[in-house]
Amino acid sequence: MTLKLTARDKQILYWLFLFVLAFGIWYFLIKPAREKNNELMTLISAADARVSEFRQKAEDLDSIRQAYKSAESSRQAEASHFYCKLSSSDIDGLFTGLAVSNSLQVNRLSVDISEADSVIMPYVFSEIPPEGYEEGLRGLNTAFVRLEVSGSAGNIYKLIDEICALRAVLLKRLDWWPYYTGTVHESFYMRSEDDKTAARLELELYMCS
């Protein structure tokens, strides 16, 4: 049996073939390519977002570094006004050396260093506290020093001037009296031959933590 195709059937088959061919090209070539392209575009967008994020973080990091450098410079400038951590023996040597260099005799010297950080408040009657000190200066250790010396009044004055010129040292109290020798009862009647004067200084020395 022979199947005869008319011209119309041939035309239908021709267009059907073209449709199947076009569908195959679209389904097996174009569609996967578009899906792959969309996937790549998604990856590119995500990568761009990550790049933008990294750039922002880099800018933030630069800002943080600049802020850190500025803060470190300010900290070093502030720290230069105070002593670094000193031991009791270091403080003892500091004030003993000052007394001896002024020809004074050290009768007693005690040093007590606070373990906790101190807060140094501005003077209560100060109308304009220094900038940044409105709530007090924090992060300092305080050494409480009691120094008793004897010698001439002029040398004691020199010692006081030198102590007051030291950085971060505050003279809290000063007592002085004629220096007597002898027993407790005799001291009321016997002056020493070299006419010495005795003084007791209570000091605070501030150190950076």
Q: Give the tens place of pLDDT for each residue, 36-84.
A: 888 888 888 888 888 888 888 888 888 888 887 877 777 666 666 777 8
As a whole number of angstroms, the distance between CA 23 and CA 32 comes to: 13
Residue 203 makes CB contacts below 8 A (sequence gap 6+) with 95, 144, 145, 146, 147, 163, 169, 170, 171, 172
Q: Give mean pLDDT, residues 19-27.
A: 85
174 and 103 fall within a common domain: yes
As a whole number of angstroms, the distance between CA 203 and CA 143 comes to: 8
Boundaries of domain holding 96: 88-208
2: in domain: no
pLDDT tens readout for residues 129-155: 455 554 556 667 889 999 999 998 889
Count: domains in the chain: 2
- End position of a domain, from candidates 59, 80, 101: 80
34 and 133 fall within a common domain: no
Q: Residue 148, class by beta-carbon neighbours within 10 Å (0-12 exposed, 13-18 middle, 19+ buried)?
A: middle
With cut-offs at 50, 70 and 90, classify the pLDDT of residue 110.
very high
Could you tell me how far CA 198 lies from the centroid of its own chain?
42
pTM equals: 0.55
137 in Cβ contact with 119 (< 8 Å): yes
| Cα-based distances in Å from 96 to 109, 145, 190 | 8, 11, 28
Q: Give mean pLDDT, residues 93-107.
A: 94
